[in-house]
Every structure is written in structure tokens, then in C-alpha cells.
Structure 1
Amino acid sequence: MHMFHMNGCGNRFVVFDGRARPWRKTAEEIRQIAHPNGKQAFDQIIGMESTPNGDVFMRIWNADGSQVSACGNATRCVGWLVQRETGQEEILIETEAGLLTARAAGDDMITVDMGEPRLDWEEIPLAEKMDTRFVDIKIGPMDNPVLSRPSCVNMGNPHAVFFVGDVNAYDIPAVGPLAEWHPLFPEGVNVGFAQVVDRQTIRLRVWERGAGLTLACGTGACAAAVAAARLGRTERKVKMILDGGELHIEWRESDNHVLMTGPVELEGELQIAS
């Protein structure tokens, strides 16, 4: 079995190619892979599997061992791997969140069509009905909250995006978990801290559900772009500046799909016993 160490804009993965033989691990085994020396080395663990519905099925685990439905940066990495192997121009990737397409966009650059954002309160999901543009929660003291009124978007997984004046002014490891498991989010939530630089640029940091503060979050970048455009803060095509690099997001008006373009890096590959 092949194992690949990869990153997408700094978001680090181990990808196991289980297409010849299914690769399944327990939550504890996933945690051990993600934390090889007791410290977190990888944000997500990815399993590639055969599928009749596309070129590859992608299974995703967070570093804490929980399984999730979507990971934008990992989708670009898997798309790049299958493209390198097959030479195909377009790769169809099946995930628990649906079918996604990946295309080459230059040297080690991949564009993924992430599909349509889900914006209804039941689709996030929220515990109660409310306008997802301004969700009524406060993090911190009620009379002087640290964060409040995020916009929520589901991009295959749930995101709450807080628009802030300066992303570096927040102790994200301290406040991120308070929003991640707020009672309003029955499945937990990825927490974005978005600073609008101008109408074409957003500075973003993300506390990922089950993974913590990462250098980049692809679905988080898509969610922040959708939330910002929906509120009239930016255009529908923006550059996202993350700790690990840049992603380019377009929320296309013609079909409501979100396109994400960014870099892929292969750090190493090994043949291992399955």
C-alpha cells in the first residue's frame, strides 16, 4: 500500500491508497497516526478507496479520530494524486458530502468544484431556527462578548464565520473551542475568524472541528467567501490569505457553485505493508 505525506496550503495530511484493499482504522488508531510522537503532526488522515461512482472515494478522519464528510484541501491533494497517475484532465472524487470534480490549474495547482453552499438553518445544522447570516450566539461575557453573531455556511461540513477587525487579536486556541461545541451546533462547528482586507481579499484563520488551529482550511475558506459575499462585504471572487498560503475562491453566480483553487505539495511517499 502506498502512503503519501502531503499538504494543501499548509494543511497537512497522510493519504493511504486503499483502492486495492480497503483501509479501515479505529478512532484510536487514527489518533496515533495523527500524533506519531505524542504531538499532532497531521490535521487529517485520508483513505482512498475504489468506487463505481467516480475515479476515487475519499474517506476523511480528523486528528482526534472523528470521521467527517468534507475537506477541501485534501480533495485537491487526492485529485492531484489521481491526475498524476491517470493523466486525466478531470477527476471525479466521491465523498460522504457528494461528488466533487478536480482539475489542474497550473503547476501543482488544483481547482475543485465544491458544489453549492447550504445556507438553511437545518442544513448547517443549528439547534433552532434562525437567520444564518447573523446567528444569535455570544462567546464570552454576555455584556461584553469576545465574539458574536457569526454567519453560518455548510460546505459539506458546518462553519461559523466571525468577521473581526484583526484576526491576530484573538487567542484562537482559547476561544475557538467555546464556539466549536456551543449548544446551538449539535454536530459541532468549524470556527472561522475572517478579516476583510478589501472587496477582493480576506485574511482568514480557522479553528477546525476535531483538528484545532490549522495553517489552512479549504472548506473554511469557501464558507468565509460565501458568508462575506452574502453580507455584501466582498465580491463573489476573492483571495483568501491563510497562515499556510493563499487560496482563490469564486462563488459562481451562473450555477451557485463554489470553486476553490490552491497549491498541492507532495512531501514524501512510502510503500508500506497494508
Structure 2
Amino acid sequence: MNFTKMHGLGNDFIVVAGEKELPAGASELAVRLCDRYFGIGADGLVYILPSEKADYKMRIINSDGSESEQCGNAVRCVAKYIYEYGMVEASRKELTVETIGAGAQKVQLTVESGRVTAVRVDMGEPILRGTEVPTTVDLDQVLNHPIEVDGRQFQFTAVSMGNPHCVIYVDDAAHFDLGTWGPKLEVHPLFPRRVNVEFVTVKSPQAMDMRVWERGAGPTLACGTGACATLVASVLNGKSERSATVSLKGGDLFIEWNEADNHVYMTGPAEQVFEGQLSLPGRTRRIQD
């Protein structure tokens, strides 16, 4: 099985193309391959599959074996892969990628000398109703809602971008104790399908810092859907304008919440790291260079 290691601002993936459908045992394989000591190492295993609704379909298996409905950084990596590996005509600068959480997403490519240097993704409309995010809070919008864990009180804003997010404002996101509070909030009873947790510090109406604990993957260097959810939450809370730069540990994403169509747009890079081949005689035994 051939694979390509890719990342979007350090949020890294093992990308596999050529399968007709999600293989049996993909969850176990993801756990094995994403291990950073005994496997390739990644936040997730991504399959590029045929689609009846878009150019291609993306399926994402997290490093813990669970499946994610959507991932903004993975969409950018998949779009870059599709273009640079000739899976569409070189003249195509707009693609569609189907996800199980947000449907078919439109993608615009910036191409220089045959290489994709930036990807702009139409991430669709944010979902704000509490029970649809989902949370157990039955409100049209869950803004600054109290949540308690281990005796500490937080206030969160709930947003879904095809996957659930819990946005919490803190004084210093860059140095926040992510490892202590992220895993506890991820599995809080308020979130029936667990949740991605963003800790955010707004620097100005056009800039904010964000750190993320991703559901099923833990701390990652970047989260595209999380950056989108952060901007939406910041607009709703009167903390930012409708377009801003979200700075993550792995780099910056430019996020826009368009007032005309209510869609959120994300622009950022994607990079290929290396290619490899796995020997899979019935099960994964070793990793070849």
C-alpha cells in the first residue's frame, strides 16, 4: 500500500488513494500507523475515495481509531494531493471534496509552477443550535454557557463545522495548560459525541491565538475546523470582525465568515512531507522506507 505523509500547519496525516471504499480494519490500521514510535506517526489516516457527489470523497480516521466527520487541514491536504498527483486535469483550479459531516465542499487552489501553494475551502454554514452541534443544551445559540470540570468553571460557545467545537476564551492561549483541561472537557457529559476544545485569546478584532485539543487525536499543532469555529464564536460574542487571522501553534489560517451566504471560508497551506510503501500481508507487519 502506497501512502503519502502530508500536513496542514503541522496537523499531519497519512494519505492513501486508490481504494474503492473505506477498507475493513481501517480503524485498527489507523491506530497502528499513527503511533509516533512504532508506526509512521500522524494525527490521522486519510483515505481519498470515489464520490458520487463530488470529485472525490475524504474519510478521516483519527489516531485513536475513531472517525472524524470533517477536518479542515485534511481537506487542504487532500485537494493538494488530488491536483499534484494528476487526479484531475491541470487546468482545474476548483475542486469539490465530499466529507461525511459537511457534504461536498468547494475548494479553490492557488497554483505556482504546477504546485499548490495555498488552498481556500468553502467550509459551509456553521451550525449553532445546541442540540445539533451537538450539546445537551437546548438553545438556538450556546454562548458563554457555564461548564464545570474538576471544580473549575469555564464559559464555552458551541459551534459545529460538520464536527463539534467548544470555544473557551482564556488570558493566554499560547501557554494554557492544554494537557490538563483538554481531555477532561472533550468527554464532558454536556457533549454526547465528545467535542473538540479550542482555547482562545483575542489579540485584536482581526487576530487571535488559538490552541486546540482535538477529539480523538489530543493536542495538535493546528485545526482548520477549530479555527473556523473560533472565528464564528468570536463574531457572535462581539470579540472580532467577520474575517481574521487565527494563529495556531503550527502557523496561521485566514478565516472569513461571509455575511452574504453565511458560509465560512478558510485559506491556508498544505505540504507533502514524504512518500512511502507499507507491506500489508493480511496485516501490517513492518514499514518500509
- Structure 2 distance, partners of 1:180, 1:44, is 17
| Structure 1 residues 52 and 192, CA gap change in structure 2 (3 angstroms) | same
**Equivalent position SS for 1:122:** helix
3-state SS of 1:14 partner? strand
Number of the residue aligned with 2:72: 72
| Structure 2: 5+ residue stretches without partners | 281-289
How big is the shift at 1:260? Answer: 0.4
Residue 115 of structure 2 corresponds to residue 105 of structure 1? no
TM-aligned CA deviation for residue 39 of structure 1:
7.6
Q: Tell me the secondary structure at the aligned position of residue 267 of structure 2.
A: strand
Deviation at 1:136, TM superposition (A): 2.5
Are 2:113 and 1:135 equivalent residues in the alignment?
no
- 1-structure distance, mates of 2:33, 2:259: 41
Residues 90, 135 of structure 1: CA spacing in aligned structure 2 closer, same or farther, 3 A cutoff? same
Q: Considering only aligned residues, what root-mean-square deviation do their CA atoms show, in Å?
A: 1.8
Partner of 1:58: 58
Q: Does 1:90 align with 2:99?
A: no
Partner Cα separation in structure 1 for residue 247 and residue 76 of structure 2: 17
Q: Contact 2:254/2:267 (CA < 8 Å) preserved in 1?
A: yes
The 2-side partners of 1:232 and 1:21 are apart by 44
Residues of 1 paired with 2:185 and 2:22: CA distance? 35
TM-score (norm 1): 0.93
Q: Which residue of 1 aligns with 2:186?
A: 180
1:228 match: 234
**C-alpha distance in 1 between matches for 2:272 and 2:199:** 28
The amino acid of 1:175's aligned partner reads W
Q: Distance in 2 between matches of 1:212 and 1:26?
A: 19
Residue among 112, 115, 120 paired with 2:129? 120
Residue 133 of structure 1 and its aligned partner are, at CA, apart by 1.3
31-40 vs 163-172, which moves further: 31-40
- Structure 1 residues without counterparts, runs of 5 or longer: none
Using the alignment, how far apart are the partners of 2:108 and 2:277 within structure 1? 26
1:222 partner amino acid: C
The Cα shift of 1:273 comes to 6.0
Deviations 1:36-94 (A, max 9, x none): 52488211110111112111110011110001110000001101111222221111111
Residue of structure 2 equivalent to 1:32: 32
Secondary structure at the counterpart of residue 78 of structure 2: helix
Is the CA contact 1:105–1:261 (under 8 Å) kept in the aligned structure 2? no
How far apart are residue 169 of structure 1 and its match?
A: 3.9
Give the match's secondary structure for 2:201. Answer: strand
Question: Is it true that 1:246 corresponds to 2:282 in the alignment?
Answer: no
Secondary structure in structure 2 of the residue aligned to 1:220:
helix
TM-score, normalised relative to structure 2:
0.88
Instruction: Confirm or deny that 1:155 pairs with 2:161.
Output: yes
Deviation at 1:24, TM superposition (A): 4.1
Same amino acid, percent of matched pairs? 39
Offset of residue 28 of structure 1: 2.2
8 Å Cα contact 1:125/1:187 also seen in 2: yes
Superposed displacement of residue 174, structure 1: 1.0
2:287 counterpart residue number: none
Cα separation, 1, equivalents of 2:273 and 2:107 = 20
Q: Give the aligned length.
A: 270
Work out whether residues 204 and 221 of structure 1, in 8 Å CA contact, stay in contact via their aligned partners in 2.
yes
> In the superposition, relative to structure 1, how do residues 173 and 224 fare at CA in structure 2: closer, same or farther (>3 Å)?
same
Q: Which amino acid letter does the alignment assign opposite residue 244 of structure 2?
A: V
Aligned-partner Cα distance in 1 for 2:176–2:21: 45
Secondary structure at the counterpart of residue 105 of structure 1 = strand
CA contact (8 A) 1:16 1:23 kept: no
CA displacement, residues 118-157 of structure 1 (integer Å, 9 cap, x when unaligned)? 000111111231441122212332xxx2x51110100010
* Counterpart amino acid of residue 77 in structure 2: C
Letter in 2 for 1:213: P
